Amino acid sequence: MKLFQKLLLAPTAIGFLTPIAANASEINYGDVNSYTLNQSEVSVESFKPLSNKNPLLAGGEGLSTSETANADFDADTFSSTTSASFAVNIAAGSVDDGSGDDVLGWNFDWELATSTSFTGNDSLDVVLNAGQSKLMPELDLTDSGNAVNVDSISYTTSFGDRSTFFFGNGALAGSSLYNVACVYGAQTDTLSDCGVSAANLDEEFGTAVGASFDFENGFAVSIGYEGQGMTSNGLLSDGGADAFGAQVSYSRDNYGVSLSWANIENHDDNNALTGTTGATQSRGVNAYYSPDLANFPSISVGFETNHDDAQAASADETSHYFVGLQWDEIGNGSLGAAFGSKAPYLENGDAETMYEVFYAYNYADGITITPIFYGKENAGSADDETGLIVKTSFEF
């Protein structure tokens, strides 16, 4: 191109580039830099290729298309509908069981509970635990010799707004869907039944099934069953123990009552049927009242009667009772005290009693420190059992 032609093109090019330069000069490079620093998050995971198959959507529906049916899902991907919770209990204290041995002990347990929903109205729950609790059996900690055990596996689902069903195996109660009218937070195993030891079905036979029906006006009806489906005895057989139960409950904002019934085939401490035939029928009532008054405790009570049709007329009726008080806002924690019978006692006999006092202090989010003092009567001339324990619970 001739020099004269190039000179003619120069003004035209300058005129074309001038608007572009003007617009570029209006860009706020500070904002651009701020955006790149604040909005962009880069890590080693940013360069990891995303999986092309998600086996579980948030609504519980699985993906299955021609493009993804044969794809491998990333091994480290966690379902968005699964949650996990952890708990650790560490207890230190002294227990005198009446034999004259009063030793300082240290026990603990650990638990992992996972819950997965597939439809949004159901839950598959698995509980693993381990621990040592031989020195403090009243705390009901796991005692597995440090081995991790599958404590329970259960599946719960709802049909409509009023009906809920569950089934499972392990340390599950047939009363898992019961609404027991007791708001006392017992710290010892004996008093945790709120005075109803059998009617609130919890025999730990191994297999449990139940249902609950909520009438949305405070009333609810629940049924439960326990059997030995995890052993060769089987369910509903002559060789295995079976238990049936039902409950009717009514609850409002600050009070409630529940009536429970159970028919339990007689068995020994190992859940084997006893040599004598027969079953025990139990009837229990629980009630609570939580007044909206400053410095006034909630009150929980329970009473149960049992009839063993395999016993003689003079020994076939037993009773069980409980009273618990709890102040939920004492300092930064809860104060509780309870008194009741240690176990069902003969109708014309004297009850062996038990009491406990505790203060659950909320040390921090997820950490509770609970000093516990309890006393339990022993039969005959044996000295009473006493315990002074400090339990620290971690939940996360």
CATH 2.40.160.10 fits 83-395, yes or no: yes
Q: Where are the domains of the chain?
A: 3-44, 83-395
Residue 237's pLDDT is what?
80
Residue 88's pLDDT is what?
96
For 52, 58, 71, 166, 216, the CA distances from 82, given in Å and listed in that order, are 20, 10, 22, 18, 28
| CB under 8 A, 24+ apart: contacts of 108-113 | 108/132, 108/133, 108/141, 109/133, 109/141, 109/142, 109/143, 110/86, 110/142, 111/86, 111/87, 111/142, 111/151, 112/84, 112/85, 112/86, 113/84, 113/85, 113/86, 113/87
> pLDDT (tens digit, 0 to 9) for every residue of the chain, 396 residues total?
443 344 344 444 444 334 434 444 444 434 434 433 344 444 444 334 444 444 443 444 444 444 444 444 454 555 778 999 999 999 999 998 777 667 788 999 999 999 999 999 999 999 999 998 888 989 888 888 778 999 999 999 999 889 999 999 998 999 999 999 999 999 999 999 999 999 999 998 989 999 999 998 899 999 999 998 877 777 888 778 899 999 999 999 999 999 999 999 988 877 778 766 789 999 999 999 999 888 899 999 999 999 998 888 888 999 999 999 999 989 999 999 999 999 999 988 888 999 999 999 999 999 999 999 999 998 877 788 999 999 999 999
Nearest to 336 by CA among 318, 353, 321, 356: 356
- The neighbour count for residue 1, using CB atoms within 10 Å, is 7
Are residues 141 and 129 in contact, defined by beta-carbon separation less than 8 angstroms? no
Give just the sign of the alpha carbon dihedral 176, 179, 183, 184. negative
Half-sphere exposure of 316 (CA within 13 A, CB side): 12
Residue 1's pLDDT is what?
46
Q: Residue 88 corresponds to which amino acid?
A: V
Grouping H, G, I as helix, E, B as strand and the rest as coil, residue 385 is: strand
For residues 343 and 174, give the distance between their C-alpha atoms in angstroms, rounded to a whole number. 20
